[in-house]
Amino acid sequence: MSVETTAKTYLNYINGEWKESASREAEASINPANKQEIVGYVQKSVREDLNQAVQAACQAQRQWRKLSAPARGEYLYRMADVLERNLSQIAETMTREMGKTLPEAKGETARGVAILRYYAGEGMRKTGDVIPSTDAEALMFTSRVPLGVVGVITPWNFPVAIPIWKIAPAIIYGNTVVFKPAQETAVTAAKIVECFAEAGLPAGVVNMVTGAGSVIGQGIVEHPDIAAITFTGSDQVGKAVGQGALARGAKYQLEMGGKNPVIVTNDADLDQAVEATISGGLRSTGQKCTATSRVIVQSGVYEAFKEKLLAKVKELQIGDGLATGTWMGPCASDKQLNTVLSYIEKGRSEGATLLYGGQRLTDGEWKNGFYVQPTIFENVSPQMTIAQEEIFGPVLALIKVETLDQALEIANDSQFGLSASIFTKNIGSMLSFIQKMDAGLVRVNAESAGVELQAPFGGMKQSSSHSREQGQAAIEFFTAIKTVFVKP
Ligand code: NAP
Ligand code: MG
């Protein structure tokens, strides 16, 4: 049976109600493992829908900010419980909509639950300091106030975790939200918002409007009643969002691309390094902003590392993320697949040696999906396109070096600075790496793609707007400081 006839239509969520777009147009969200399967239809919204959502968020904010933070926290605990009850169903939707394997999708949804609980607890923590005044009689302290309506613009690669790590801190600190998910994963987004609604979150506190980035995303950037914009996505779009926000004086936060290196030294535990390179570079089909893409290996272990890496990569099972045993799913979309293939072609034409993979997979069960082989290049020089630009696919570039200093120089030779890791047993090498590596996340004997929700997350250089998300760092973006001076 074709799923096409049964696919559900998902609506916008505005002021506590599910509403069709004024455009009366919906578009299909398709399964990258089987492009004939429509996961659902999502609204192709227009500015009018966005305006209604912003108005609802403005109105709701007046009441929402008056609640005590612990009372807001109670709502977040309930949202976490409903999300947890629906975990399997949401994870399955995510796999069908963007292709990552079901265990990964379940892990991500569980993370969403944990993030909601973390920020629910944040409602009980301190938000200010007492500062000694030069006036002995006065009381001087800081308090944190919400910004107002926050626009949340998110990518498709972590369709549950990223929206939640923005929405949860936004609302715990008293803001309300207009959420524009990536159109690619708007069904998954609607399912999260369904959980929020079921948890009884007051109308207007979180509103969702789906549609094209150039219409709804851009609309958020330009809307005079949106006080702040938090964005995760590509470098190019992010910079435009930042410029637009700056032009009208809105606060903004951008988390963008990466070109994350792993350094493997002569004294590394090679099995551990291989395991982490594969997991960090190829899980989620390489579509993580923290994915390993440059593998910088010291010459003493280069051949041994390469052999072990190749042997393991050849064994990876590629297929539909819903099937048991699948290790790597398809690229999330046709567009993403073509981007990856064009970078592979660039790697070849610029003279890198293709060691493994490089082909689109089109036989048998792969026939209707956006599958590409895990791909490894060697003889990659640091100036090649595949060593400089973010590919966002399962492609590893091996770079051989003699010394640690050389490795660090190459690792830092990038416009990006999101995440980096090193494999070594030498404490001196570890410290040198920690000190010299220009990245927001530096990890020793661990893959580049690990993130913990209670710790600050964000990049250096072109990877971010130099702010941090998650953990208690989130308060810096989602609130303003008020300095209070009281003279009796
Ligand atoms: P993208 O194309 O930049 O899209 C991100 C979001 O922006 C989507 O919701 C998109 O909407 C919207 N958008 C598009 N054009 C816009 C415009 N003119 N104004 C405002 N919003 C607009 O990125 P993506 O392809 O979805 O995601 C992949 C990228 O995200 C990679 O570069 C990756 O490194 C980055 N990423 C970074 C992090 C991090 O934390 N550093 C985490 C995950 C991903 P539509 O797509 O629906 O049109
Ligand atoms: Mg899709």
Mean pLDDT of 429-452: 97
Topology of domain 9-256+464-486 in CATH is Aldehyde Dehydrogenase; Chain A, domain 1 (3.40.605)
Q: Structure tokens of 307?
A: 């052999």
For residue 416, give the ligand nearest its CA.
Answer: 1
Residue pair 420/411 in contact (Cβ under 8 Å)? The answer is: yes
DSSP conformation letters of 217-285: IHHHHH-TT--EEEEES-HHHHHHHHHHHHHTT-EEEEE----EEEEE-TTS-HHHHHHHHHHHHHGGG
pLDDT of residue 450: 86
Name the residue among 204, 198, 195, 150 with its Cα closest to residue 15: 204
In the chain, where are the structural domains located? 9-256+464-486, 260-452
Does the C-beta of 255 come closer than 6 Å to ligand 1?
yes
Between the CA of 231 and the centroid of ligand 1 the distance, in Å, is 8
Mean pLDDT of 349-375: 98
Between the CA of 102 and the centroid of ligand 2 the distance, in Å, is 15
pLDDT of residue 5: 55
Dist. CA 337–CA 104, nearest whole Å: 20
- Which tens digit of pLDDT belongs to each residue from 266-306? 999 999 999 999 999 999 999 999 999 999 999 999 999 99
- pTM score: 0.98
Dist. CA 173–CA 54, nearest whole Å: 18
CATH code at 260-452: 3.40.309.10
Number of the ligand 1 atom closest to the C-alpha atom of 258: 34
Q: Structure tokens of 17?
A: 């109600």
- Which tens digit of pLDDT belongs to each residue from 259-275? 999 999 999 999 999 99
For residue 153, give the ligand nearest its CA.
Answer: 1
pLDDT of residue 149: 99
pLDDT at 1 over 80: no
Does the C-beta of 151 come closer than 6 Å to ligand 1?
no
pLDDT at 343 over 50: yes
- Which tens digit of pLDDT belongs to each residue from 412-428? 999 999 999 999 999 99
CA dihedral 471, 472, 474, 479 (to 10 degrees): 160
Query: What are the strands, taking DSSP E only, across 375-433?
Result: 375-378, 395-401, 416-417, 419-423
Band the pLDDT of 4: cuts 50, 70, 90. very low
